[in-house]
Amino acid sequence: MDTLSEKLTRLYETHWDDFTAQLKAANLKERLQDPLLLSLALSGQQKSEREEDQEKAGYDTWYARKSTANHEDWYTKADVKIMFFGQETNGWARGCDVGELTAAYEDFLDDHYNADEGHFYTEGLQRGNRFMRWGINGIMSGVREMLEPYPGKRVAMIWNEISKLSARKGEGGTSVDAAAHEIERRYFHVIPKEVEILRPDILVFLTGPGENTYYNYIKENFTVGVPQQLGSLPLHDVAKLPIEGVKLAYKTYHPGARGTTEEFHWQFYQAILDDIKANLDTLLQGK
* Domain at 4-284: CATH architecture: 3-Layer(aba) Sandwich (3.40)
Confidence (pLDDT) at 170: 64
pTM of the model: 0.91
Strands 248-252 and 238-240, sheet pairing = antiparallel
Q: What rounded mean pLDDT belongs to the chain?
A: 89
Confidence (pLDDT) at 57: 39
Helices (H) and strands (E) in the chain, counts: 12, 7
CB atoms within 10 A of CB 93: 16
pLDDT tens digits, residue range 46-80?
A: 444 444 544 443 334 444 444 434 589 999 999 99
Q: Tell me the backbone φ, ψ of residue 33, rounded to 5 degrees.
A: -70, 150
pLDDT tens digits, residue range 112-121?
A: 999 888 999 9
Residue spans of the chain under pLDDT 70: 1, 43-70, 169-172
